[in-house]
Structures are given as structure tokens and as C-alpha cells.
Structure 1
Amino acid sequence: MSALDWTVVVGYFLVVVAIGWWSKKRIHTIADFFVARGQIPWWLSGISHHMSGYSAVMFVAFAAVAYDSGLTVYVWWALTIGLGVGVGAFLFAPRWNRLRAKHDVKSPLEYLARRYNLPTQQVLAYSGAALKVVDIAAKWVAISVLLKGFADIPLEWGIILTGVATMAYMTVGGLWADVLTDMGQFVIQAVAGVAMLIAVMGELGVGFAWTMWEDLPADHNDPVNDNVTTVLVLAFLLVKTFEYNGGMWNLAQRYMAAPTGSDARRSALLSSGLWLVWPFILFLPMFAAPLIVPNLDNGEESYIQMAQELLPAGLIGLLLAGFFSHTMAMVASDSNVITAVITRDIAPVLVPKVRRLTERAQLTFARITTVIFVSVSMLIAITTGGEGFVLDVVVDLVAATMGPISIPLMLGLLPWFRRNGPTAAIASWAGGLAVWYVVFYIVEDASQAQVVGLPLLTSLVLYIVIGLVKPEGNDERDTLIDSLSTDPVGTGSAAASAPLPEQGRGEGRQEPDERVPAR
């Protein structure tokens, strides 16, 4: 990297820190910190939802798949997400928003204590938080691999650099800093992605998107290739529909932070459209990489080497800044929502004193929790050494276990499952994780479709069947579910809806009303 490249990277870090400090002016309560009081415009929420869905993993692990197998990585990853988010725009996005607008919910798991019971909420909170800390560790490894490839920075220092920078703006700026960084990331990625696309056009010709397939291996233009099957693609479609509509908790926050349920639906449709189009544009140079940097032993280095060969000074720094922004924005997003879960759902049960904290003290507690969580994920990333860790975690572990965690959370929002109570929720969660453990660790030669699909399918079947065999509905649950069908009408409707009981936060005590009028 040249001095100009480093200038661009340093400039990016300064902008990120400036965003964090500017956002601090908007953060006065935990409602600001976690859900921005529902004041994020729908278009910004949609862009943030899209950009929070992937990190530098795309330019490391998925670039390797594109290098080795071609088109199929777009089909089983980006296409399934785009379609899943489009479905969720009508099923889930407005309901997440109405939890905040009508019930003052600040954490995606906060409603579970009333929808099921406290033990159900706690097991989902603990298992999801444990999963997320490992998931984020994979993101640190991904960005450190890129740093080592571009600038020969050791893995440990790459993780520390990005981790400290993320904490610098996330702990002060909350969700506002996260969303605004996503917007900056979108702009940087657009410039860097188009620059790489033009560079590849200069190398292979303007029409390379059509002509390159003749020179690539014959199966690189197949939608299903290598170990990818149609069954696996369908399994990913099911998993991603749950994961990207709230099962991945930070993405539920984007819907909650929009002004109304209708705005949340629009933001989801925008995100869906971006998922269908933009990743394909980014993947085109990756598909062509074997023609530009052939015979690589490690496909994870393909995008790095192609950038070093094709891009001039300055643009490499911009590309690296884009990698940083991918990872830092996603990690910041995950950290914010995990902090919300710990602050709102776990800590008050473990330490009763948390229930009586003032608004300012709760905000301080949330910021401290953010620092601790990010630090633990960095420590895990450093101790792995990075070899093969990224793809194993992101694809095998996260995709497979997200289903059992998200099924009770997501289906609990829908009126069709109003009779599914805590028994169905716990059995679904435990059964799905048990099947994942058997398939992943005990069954020999299990296919990726089985590893990804069977846990979620098990959880789904158990949730539905037990709900039919042992219905556990009651009037309180019915009232909660029915309230999520429509947006509040003016301030009266929003104010009239009772906030969720502050489980574990003291009898008869409510926090100050932080709702804003529906628009």
C-alpha cells in the first residue's frame, strides 16, 4: 500500500470517530441508544438493514467460493437473502416496529417474557448471545486476513485495530452511529465496487460479464455447483428468511427504529431490492478472478491479489476502507443489539439492582457492556489463529444454529401461532440444537444441506406440532399478538397501549414514556 492508500484509510477512521461523536448528541436515554426512538427514516433504515447483513467475510470466504465454484455463491447466499427479506417485509418487519411503538420495547427479546415466559426468554437470550460472540469473532478474523494481505499487518494487531476503532464510536453513538456508518459504508462500497468493476472491464473487456464464462471452468456458470445442491439452496432460503428478518437480532432493530410499521415494510423492500442486485455486481469481479490471478492455492486471497494488480494507488486504500466499514458496521450493529439484550433481558434477572438504575446509569451500563462484549469477541478471534475459521463459523455454525434460536422468536409474532406457548418454544429450541449437534459432530459425511437445514426443520416441526398438541394461549398473549396487526392511530392509540411489564425490574414500576407519536 502506498502513502496515498494509508491516507485514505486513516481518513476513513477519522470520519467514523467523528460520526460517533456527532451521534452522541442524540443519545440521552437507552431508547436513543438501542432503537433511536423510532426516528430513523425508512430509506436510511433500509440501507442500514442491507449493509448490516454482511461484512468483510464476503471478500474473503465468499470470494474464495466464487473463485473455486463461480455463480453458485450468489444463488445460495445473496439471492436467498433477497427473497427472504422480501417475504419478511410483509410478515415480520411491521410487527417488529409495532413492538416498539405500542409496547415500548427496546430489545428484540424483550417481548418474549410476555409472549411465552421468563425462562423461555432467558434460554434464547443466553444461547443467542453465545452464538453472536463467536460470529463476531469470525468477522474480526476476516478483516485481519485482508489487512495482512494488503499491508502485512499481523492478525492480532489487525483485530485490535478494528476492534478499538469500533468501540470508539459505538459506545458513544449507539444505534445512530451504527446507522450513519452504514450509510457511509454504502457510499464507500459503491465507489470502490464500481472502481473494481471498471478495472476488470479494462482487463477483460466491457462485456466480460457475458464472455468470461467461456474461459472459466465449465461449471462456474451453474446455479448449483460443487457441494451446493437445490436442496441446500432451499434450506438456505428458509434459514435466511428467519435470520434476516429478525432472527439475526440486529436486523430487527432496523425495523424497530423506523417511524412506523408501514415505514419498516418499505425499508425491508428496499433492503430486499439491494440484496438482489448489489451483491451480484460485487461478485462479478470475483467470478472473473481465476482469469486475472490464476492458480492460487488459497482462494481467500483472490480479491486481495486482484485489487493489488488492477487498482491504482488511493483506490486500494478506499477498497480497504470499504472492508473496514463492512466489518465494523456489522460488528457495531451486533454489539448494540447484544448490549440491548444483556441490559434489558439478562442483567436485571441476574442482578436485581440493575432494575433500579436511573436512566443515565442504564446508559452508562449499556456502554460498559458494549466494551466488554467487543473485547471478548476480539480475544476469541485472536486465539483461533484464523485458519479456516471464517467460513466454518459463518456457514456451518451460525447458519445451522440460527434456526432453532429464531423459530420461537419470529413465529411468536404471527397470529397463526397464537396458541404456541412456552412448551412449544423450549422444545423447538432444544430439539433443533440437539439435531444440529448430532448432524455436525456425530454423523459422518453429513452434507451441508443436512447441517444447515435439518436443525431448522426440526425446530419448525416441533414448534408447530407441539402448539397443536398442547395449546397454551391466553388472553394476554392474544392481546399482544393482535396489537401488532396495525400501526398506532395518532398519539392516543400509541399511548393507550400498555407497555410490556418490566420483567425482573420491580413490581409496579415503569420507566418514563419514551414513545414518539406515530407519523
Structure 2
Amino acid sequence: MAVDYAVIVLYLAGMLAMGWWGMRRAKSKSEFLVAGRRLGPAMYSGTMAAIVLGGASTIGGVGLGYQYGLSGAWMVFTIGIGLLALSIFFSARIARLKVYTVSEMLDLRYGGSAGIISGVVMWAYTLMLAVTSTIAYATIFDVLFGMDRTLSIVLGGVIVVAYSTLGGMWSITLTDMVQFVVKTIGVLLLLLPIAVVKAGGFAEMRDRLPDDYFAPLGIGGQTVFTYVLIYSFGMLIGQDIWQRVFTARGDKVARLGGTAAGTYCLVYAVAGAVIGTAAKVLYPHLGSPDDAFATIVKDALPVGVRGLVLAAALSAVMSTSSGALIACATVANNDIWSRVKGFVAARRAAPDGPDAGREPAEGPDAEAAGGSDEVRDNRLFILIMGIAVIVIAIALNNVVEALTLAYNVLVGGLLVPILGGLLWKRGTATGALASVAVGGVTVIGLMASLGVLANEPIYYGLLASLVTYVAVSLASKPTDPAVLTAWRARLAGEPAPEDDGTEEPAPSSAVHGA
């Protein structure tokens, strides 16, 4: 195992080194949060694939293959379908908006009154997504070192928080590229063929397992439909996914790079299910399907290769964890805290407020300080959110329930107002707010009464959200034509002020072919 340990330790050290390097590049808000909006197709597609294929897709995907056979691929497959739909139909428009968060998009579309509520919903989703990824460290470090669950979560969480806090999106992009390569080699090129050979090949697998293991819908048609609603639609609206779209250099990169990443997800889905099916042949009586990945890696792979494949699993967890963490911190700072600060400042600046008559600071010094302050503030929020994620991960045990809760609230509350804003010009701010409230409350209420893993909450939550959005929008005053004009201009990619009124130009040293 010494060689395996060395591979893992070198990998973790490399992640921290890239965080330090990324810190030197992240000098502005744009650089820190969206990598300066200048990723080329190779880096964009690699990092997008890394963010969506996390521990649930790797360890959980193999577990579903162990339990249901080839149809266990459907969960990850629907993630790929959602990413393909986002990339082909929406990514170009999203990239042209030049915003940092989904809530900023809603403010632009509806006139600045939908952001705070949607920000809270999105924050809850990204927080739970980061938590579920962080819990997965316990499984990997237990296999590697026999480490205590709490210590495993703290070790993995601290490394991710460290490199994310240091360099923001630049660090996360660089580490995600490494993680993408490691996952490709470890899971697709090594574990997949070795597992099939160890199981005796496909013919032996078919002879040893029931026919249901090779049926396309062996997992159940209703389950597949629920996966589509939760994961495919979740890909269309998640802050963690949109924040990666914002890093694209242009429309073409967002569309083609995302399409490549989505196609990669489809291949990864099938690979995970096949590995799980092979594990069922080799180890038919495991205590839990989620043990399949760790067991086949530990028992079936040679020294060195085992370390690389475990590093691949660690890569999957870290890529999703870091992406969710920076998304959570971005929403907390830009959509919630900044709005609260703005509200307080407006009250203080009122004619009878304590700061009445005080002139705001102006001049180049104030502008320079503002840029560095924004990076510092976002860095601080990543650190705070990271500590919160580690603490919550230690307290929770059920990863599937936490992930389902996150996606149900996200899709039930925000899918309709976001897609409605992009596709239906008659949608209004009042309709959007009512839709978020009704859809979110319906989903939470039904999960409380029927159980988190029930299918009905997302079905009825989406239906309630859609009916409310359409009915309230038609009954309320149409959106101000000036707001819609500005919105259409942003969708068309026409120049628009961002933050201080200018978009930072890409420096001549930018690697546009990355």
C-alpha cells in the first residue's frame, strides 16, 4: 500500500500547490469568481465535466450498477442529458448576460425584485450539494487509511477549502483539469476494463446475473422520470453549473465545450453501471451497494493502479465539492449579504438617517480599494461557508437524502421562474416570486409528510410552481418595457455595465487556447 499512499499524498499536495498558484492570478472579482471569463474549449469542457461528475456520480453510480445493473446508469445519464440541453439551448444566452449568479439574471429579467428570495433558495441548494460531496471523503479515506469518519471529512474538507479560498475559480479550474484527467485514466481506462475482465467478461456476467440487470428500464420507469425532473432540469438552473458557464470565453466555447462535457457524462454513466454490474458478480453479498466501488478497487486492482483509481474517486468528490463551495459563497456574498448591506446603507443614507448628508468616498484610491475588497470579501465567504460545510457534513449521515433535498428545493422553487424568464416575455416579477414561494413550500411540505425520497414532492411542487407562475403573471402588470429592452440587449450580447461600469479586458498573457 505504500505506493498507493504515495500517489494519494502527491495528488493532495498538487491540489494545494495549484491553489497557491491560482492565488497569484485572482486579482479581481472577475478573475476570482469566473476565471476572468476567458476559458477556452479544452479547459472549459474538462472543468464542466469535473463539476457535474462528483462522488455521487462515481461511488453512487457504481453502487446503482451493483444494485440494478446497466439501468443503474440512468442517474448519471440524466445529468449528461441536462448538461447537453443546457449547452445546446441556453449556454450561449447565459454566457452573454455577463453576470455572476442566477439571482442576478432574475433581477435583470424581472426588474430587480426577485433576487433575494431566489438567492436564499440557491444558497441552500449549493450548501447541501457541498455537504454531500464532503461527506463522501469519509468513504475514500476509510478505504485508504482506515481513518475515522470525522477526521476524514475534516482532512478532505480543509484541503478543498484551502485551495478554493486561495485562488477562487482559477485554482478550482486548474485542479478540476487535473481531476478530469485522473478520473478519465482511473475510472474509464483502468477500472472499467479490469473490472470486466475480473468478472469473466460480458458473457459470464450475463450468465451469472438475472436478466433484469441488463434491461434498459430495470431500475423502473418512474425512477427514470424522477431522475429527469431532478437532475436533468437541475443542470439547467444550478448556480454551480451556471458559474462554470460564466467562465467561457464566448458563445461557441460555452456551446461546444459543454456539449463535449455532456457527451463525456453519458460515457461515464455507462462505465459506472458496468463496473457496478461486474462488482455484483465478484462480490454478490456486500452489505451496501455503495460499498461496491471501494471493494472492487481494494481487492481487484494491483498496487499503484489502486492508488490512482482511489485518487480518481477523490478527484470526483473534490471537483464537485469545490465547485459547490465557491457557488455557495458567491450566492451568500453577492445575492444575500450585499443586498442586506445595501438595504442598511440606504436606510442610513435616508434624510433622517444617521449618515444623512455624508458624501461617499470617490476617486481612484476608492476604486482600487473596491477591487481588492471584493476579492477579499469573496475569499472570506468561501472560508466561512467551507467551515460551515465541514461542520454540517460531520453532523449528517444520509448523503442520498441530503442530495435529494437540495435538488428538490432547487428544481421545485426555481426551475419555472428561470426558464419562464428565458422563454416567456409575459412572465412578471410578481409571478416569479409567487412561483418560488409556492413551489418551494409545496416541495418542502410534501417531503415532510411523504418522506424526502418520495417522488410526489417534485411532481406536485413543479406543477404548483408552473400554475402559479402563469396565473399570477397573467393577472399582474406586465414587466416594464424598459426592463425587457435592457434584458434583450444583454441576451444579444450588447455591451452593458458590470459592477463598476466596465468589463475587465483579458490581458495579453491570457491563454486563449486553454
Alignment TM class, shorter chain as reference? 0.7 to 0.9
Quote how far apart the aligned CAs of 1:150 are: 3.4
Query: Post-superposition shift, 1:58?
Result: 3.0
* 2:382 counterpart of 1:391: no
Q: CA deviation at 1:192?
A: 1.1
CA deviation profile, 1:69-127 (whole Å, cap 9, x unmatched):
2222212x122222222222232101111011xxxx22332232232254521111112
Over 3 Å counting, the alpha-carbon distance change for 1:24 and 1:262 in structure 2 is: same
* 2:269 aligned with 1:259: no
**Alpha-carbon distance in structure 2 between the residues aligned to 1:36 and 1:447:** 36
**Equivalence for 1:154:** 148
Matched to 2:14, the amino acid is V
- Which residue identity is paired with 1:18? A
Query: Do structure 1's residue 234 and structure 2's residue 225 form an aligned pair?
Result: yes
Q: Residues 72 and 348 of structure 1: is their aligned pair in 2 closer, same or farther, counting only changes over 3 Å?
A: same
Distance 1:62 1:86, change over 3 A: closer
Q: What letter matches 2:379 in structure 1?
A: R
Partner of 1:426: 433
**Conserved 8 A contact 1:108-1:252:** yes
**Equivalence for 2:291:** 301
Q: Which residue of 2 aligns with 1:417?
A: 424
Task: Write the mapping of 1:413-492 to structure 2, written as runs, cut at 5 A.
Answer: 413-414=421-422, 416-443=423-450, 448-470=454-476, 472-486=478-492, 488=493
Contact 1:144–1:155 (8 Å) recurs in 2: yes
C-alpha distance in structure 2 between counterparts of 1:8 and 1:244, whole Å: 33
Structure 1 residue aligned with 2:198: 203
Counterparts in 2 of 1:107 and 1:515: CA distance versus 1, 3 Å = farther
Code of the residue aligned with 1:217 in structure 2: it is: P
Aligned mates of 1:192, 1:263 — CA distance in 2: 27
Identity of aligned residues (%): 23
Counterpart for residue 370 of structure 2:
358
* Mapped partners of 1:476, 1:314: distance in 2: 62
Cα distance in structure 2, aligned partners of 1:138 and 1:331: 8
Aligned CA-pair RMSD: 2.4
> 1:212 is aligned with what amino acid?
M
Structure 1 length as normaliser, TM-score?
A: 0.87
Q: How far apart, CA to CA, are the structure 2 residues paired with 1:447 and 1:283?
A: 21
Instruction: State the shift of 1:403 in Å.
Output: 0.9
Tell me how far 1:428 sits from its aligned partner: 1.2
Q: Which amino acid aligns with 1:199?
A: I
Query: 1:98, 1:422 → 2: CA distance?
Result: 22
Q: For the residues of structure 2 that align with 1:143 and 1:80, how far apart are their CA atoms? A: 24
Relative to structure 1, the CA distance from residue 333 to residue 219 in structure 2 (aligned partners, 3 Å threshold; closer, same or farther) is: same
Which residue type is aligned with residue 335 of structure 1? L
- 1:31, distance to aligned residue in structure 2 (A): 0.6
| Pairing partner for 1:378 from 390, 395, 401 | 390
Write out per-residue CA displacement over residues 137-184 of structure 1, whole angstroms, 9 at most, x where no aligned residue: 121112212221332101101111011111221111111111221111
Query: Contact between 2:192 and 2:274, CA under 8 Å: does it hold in 1?
Result: yes
Single out whichever of 15-24 and 210-219 deviates more from structure 2: 210-219
**Aligned residues, how many?**
485
TM-score, normalised via structure 2 length: 0.88
Shift of 1:219: 1.5
Tell me the amino acid that sits aligned with residue 441 of structure 1: A
**In structure 2, what is the equivalent of residue 34 of structure 1?**
33
- Alpha-carbon distance, 1:369 to partner: 0.6
Q: Is it true that 1:243 corresponds to 2:243 in the alignment?
A: no
What is the alpha-carbon distance in structure 1 between the residues aligned to residue 10 and residue 482 of structure 2?
A: 53
List structure 1 runs of 4+ shifted beyond 6 angstroms. 353-357
Q: Does 1:69 align with 2:75?
A: no
Task: Provide structure 2 residue ranges, at least 5 long, that are not aligned to the other structure.
Answer: 346-359, 362-368
